[in-house]
Structure 1
Amino acid sequence: MSLSEFTVFIIDDDAAVRRSLKLLIEQENLRVQDFDNAEVFLKALKPDFTGCIVTDINMPGMDGLQLQEALYHHQCTMPVIFLTGYGTIPRSVRAIKAGAVDFLTKPITREKLLVSIRAAFVECKKLMETNRHNCEAKSRLSKLTEREKEVMALVVQGFSSKEIATQLDISHRTVEIHRGNIMHKTGAANLLELAQLAHDTELDDYKYSN
């Protein structure tokens, strides 16, 4: 997806600020939608929303930090840029630690805002690619049986087929069959790719039971 297809979602209870920000962003030929409070935005939020959120941190009702927490529970990974007229250091630190891209004080200059928005778009694209990669990895892993997952977890930890056979109390030949099935089902070309797949899906922490 091209960055030009992303949208800036403005959330601010001040209508004048929303109009100003929207005009500024539209002049850069960027898509933009605005909302007067966090609750309205959350009701409109859809899984296919892509881009970034530019929100006031101090709003009546749900404030910016509460919105950030709600986005996490909605599994929304769009980067957040906070704007405030009287931000404090503790709040800005809390926002950044929670994943905010930037914390800007009003009045914000055109240059600073646009730099933050473009950085947020780049971050959004990275997150989308990571999520897509993880979904593909989990899909490939879902083809394995529970026994094959047990074998794979031990394989990527460096255990030999003989050692795996002993730990799982199965024959060496059975382990070799499982290993062949694992490589075929996951599409891994070698042990390195298999290890990366296990890491991406946290299978390297898989616990087996005898």
Structure 2
Amino acid sequence: MSASADKELPTVYVIDDDASVREALRGLFESVRLLTETYASVQDFLASAPSNRPCCIVLDIRLPGQSGLEFQEMLAKQSDARPIVLISGHVDVQMAVRAMKAGAVDVLTKPVREQDLLEAVNRAIANDQRHRSERRARQSLLSRYATLSEREKQVMALVAAGKLNKQIAADVELTEATVKLHRGQVMRKMGAESVAQLVRLADMLRDAGGGALP
């Protein structure tokens, strides 16, 4: 298997201070062909600098040092937060609500039912893969938009607003032929095959933020 393919293999990171739990979960996840790495604490996990591949963190709520809940809330503040399934021998309502508000995929009580855990982990990995794909698509769109000249960006915004070449020419004080030239360049650089597609890309740019389009 190539290194690039290996980078895309989903991985489950298990963080639990109980060695028997770590090994039991490793066996469970590897039985369904999920790469698995185990850690005894949040500090061990952070020190290892795990690879940036699609993943899910299975995290014990009650850990020595930084608790699972505190770590989850810290990760939730990051733009590319990794999905987390929390497990604990004792889960009260307040704890579960706090975890779900911070974005936990699920909160499960030990001893965890294997099927429930596998379903939660698979759901988390699927969500992570989708979010990563969306981030790549958004970055690609922003990169293509960055190749446009200021005039091309202006023309793109006017085309997306539904204006005809003649109207755009009057607005930006160019000849209609020049507008057509800029418009063709915009379509090519943005990878749009129709005006309708260009309008969709413009909407996506607005959603992406960063002042891409007015």
Global fold match (TM > 0.5): yes
- Is 2:194 the counterpart of 1:184? no
The question of whether the paired residues in 2 share the 8 Å contact of 1:85 and 1:106 is answered with yes
State the secondary structure of the residue aligned to 1:48: coil
* 2:11 equivalent to 1:7: yes
Task: Map 1:86-165; keep pairs closer than 5 Å.
Answer: 86-165=90-169
The gaps in structure 2 that reach 5 residues or longer are: none
- Provide the rounded CA distance (Å) in 1 between the counterparts of 2:45 and 2:30: 19
Q: Alpha carbons of 1:166 and 1:92: their partners in 2 closer, same or farther (altered >3 Å)?
A: farther
2: CA distance between counterparts of 1:180 and 1:104? 55
| Cα distance in 1 for residues equivalent to 2:105 and 2:162 | 39
In structure 1, distance between residues paired with 2:75 and 2:165 = 45
Which residue number in structure 1 is paired with residue 82 of structure 2?
78
Q: How high is the TM-score relative to the length of structure 1?
A: 0.82
Give SS of 2:32's match: coil
Deviation at 1:144, TM superposition (A): 0.8
1:197 to partner: Cα distance: 1.9
Compute the displacement of 1:78 (Å): 3.1
**In structure 2, how many angstroms separate the alpha carbons of the residues matched to 1:125 and 1:23?**
23
Deviations 1:62-107 (A, max 9, x none): 2223323443455444321111222233432343333322111222
- Corresponding position: 1:170 with 2:173: yes
Aligned length: 206
Shift of 1:17: 2.1
Q: Residues 57 and 172 of structure 1: is their aligned pair in 2 closer, same or farther, counting only changes over 3 Å?
A: farther
Does the 8 Å contact 2:56/2:121 carry over to 1?
Answer: yes
Q: TM-score, normalised by structure 2?
A: 0.80
Q: Does 1:195 align with 2:199?
A: yes
Give the aligned partner of residue 38 of structure 2.
34
- Could you tell me whether the CA contact under 8 Å between 1:150 and 1:206 is conserved in 2? no
* Counterpart residue type for residue 186 of structure 2: I
Q: Aligned-pair distance for 1:44?
A: 2.4
**Can you list the C-alpha shifts for 1:25-63, whole angstroms capped at 9, x where unaligned?**
223332110111123212323453322110012323322
Cα distance in 2 between the residues matched to 1:136 and 1:65: 34
Distance 2:212 2:154 in 1: 7
Unpaired runs of at least 5, structure 1:
none
Measured at CA, do residues 190 and 28 of structure 1 come closer, stay the same or move farther in structure 2, by a change above 3 Å?
same
Given the superposition, is the C-alpha separation of residues 56 and 165 from structure 1 closer, same or farther in structure 2, using an over 3 Å criterion?
Answer: farther
- The Cα offsets for residues 100-154 of structure 1, whole Å up to 9 and x where unpaired, read as 2211122211111111122222222222222222222222212112232232223
Q: CA deviation at 1:172?
A: 4.6
Q: Name which of structure 1's ranges 64-73 and 11-20 shifts more when overlaid on structure 2.
A: 64-73
